[in-house]
Amino acid sequence: MTTEALQTAQRAADELRSHTGVDSYKAAFVMGSGWAPGADALGEEGTEVPMSALPGFRPPAVTGHPGRIRSVRSGDRDMLVLLGRTHLYEGHGPAAVVHGVRTAIAAGASTVVLTNAAGSLDRELTVGSPVLIADHINLTGASPLDGANFVDLSETYSASLRAVAREANAELREGVYAAMRGPQFETPAEIRMLRAMGADLVGMSTALEAVAAREQGASVLGISLVTNVAAGLSDHPLDHHEVLETGRDAAADAGGLLAAIAAKV
């Protein structure tokens, strides 16, 4: 991380503290496409701040990403909920993509929970089901790291946090998430390639944020909500609005899972 990126994240965290009146946060939850209804289950809602009001944040550019940061109280813990994220395909570069995570960590968060909407490459990972991310394949062609910064990613997604999630829902399955640059959905040939590489899920986010969080020593939990079957595995064409609708229908139930996780991190 460059000095400039670190300083911008610190300024954003300082302003966030000023807006919310909270000195430090235990954890941060990044809510992906359609996940916003699940945020309501996380705890007692405090102040909500537009991301665009903080240094370094871009205004929301994608339907399903409200572009706000919410302060939430869960038991004796203060949490941050990022309602939306910047995607690499928006053209602002990796630093903008991971700025929310860096800001949350600068505000004290030692645990980062990344959620997303994903396509399923495994017929047993059904539409509407949450899936724990066990690992990822970064095919975006980008990294949030600068220079000779050799971050260990041998356990990008915390095994202990995945165990906490399974205590809340013993039926949770795990999978490998393939991160693509987008914004186009994948072709059937690309899906066949991803399956051959060992991917179970595919989407356009999360991987760079996970790398940035691990760079700063935060523990990471990733959860995909399966919102569609990947191209070539179904006769149904892919549509972003249907992805959002499916996410909204399932995210309220997934909110219970997030609340159980929030109580233990």
* 120 catalytically annotated: no
Catalytic residue selected from 204, 210, 212, 250 = 204
Catalytic residue selected from 79, 117, 199, 212 = 117
Q: CB–CB of 8/55 below 8 Å?
A: yes
Label the pairing between strands 219-229 and 111-120: parallel
Catalytic residue selected from 15, 90, 174, 245 = 90
Q: Is 221 helix (H, G, I), strand (E, B) or coil?
A: strand
* 89 catalytically annotated: yes
Catalytic residue selected from 74, 158, 224, 228 = 228
Q: Could you tell me the two tokens for 159?
A: 């095994």
* 110 catalytically annotated: no
Catalytic residue selected from 25, 65, 79, 179 = 65
Q: Is 97 helix (H, G, I), strand (E, B) or coil?
A: helix
Q: What length does the chain have?
A: 265
* 1 catalytically annotated: no
* 169 catalytically annotated: no
Give me the helices (H) in 21-138, please: 94-106
* 155 catalytically annotated: no
Catalytic residue selected from 1, 15, 168, 240 = 240
- What are the b/e assignments for 58-96, b being 16+ CB within 10 Å? bebebebbbbbbbbbebeebbbbbbbbbbbbbbeeebbb
* 99 catalytically annotated: no
Catalytic residue selected from 19, 89, 110, 234 = 89
* 236 catalytically annotated: no
Q: CB–CB of 47/21 below 8 Å?
A: yes
* 154 catalytically annotated: no
Catalytic residue selected from 5, 27, 31, 33 = 33
Catalytic residue selected from 74, 120, 205, 219 = 205
Give the span between the Cα atoms of 206 and 20, in whole angstroms: 26
Catalytic residue selected from 5, 13, 31, 87 = 87
Annotated active-site positions, please? 33, 65, 87, 89-90, 117, 204-205, 228, 240
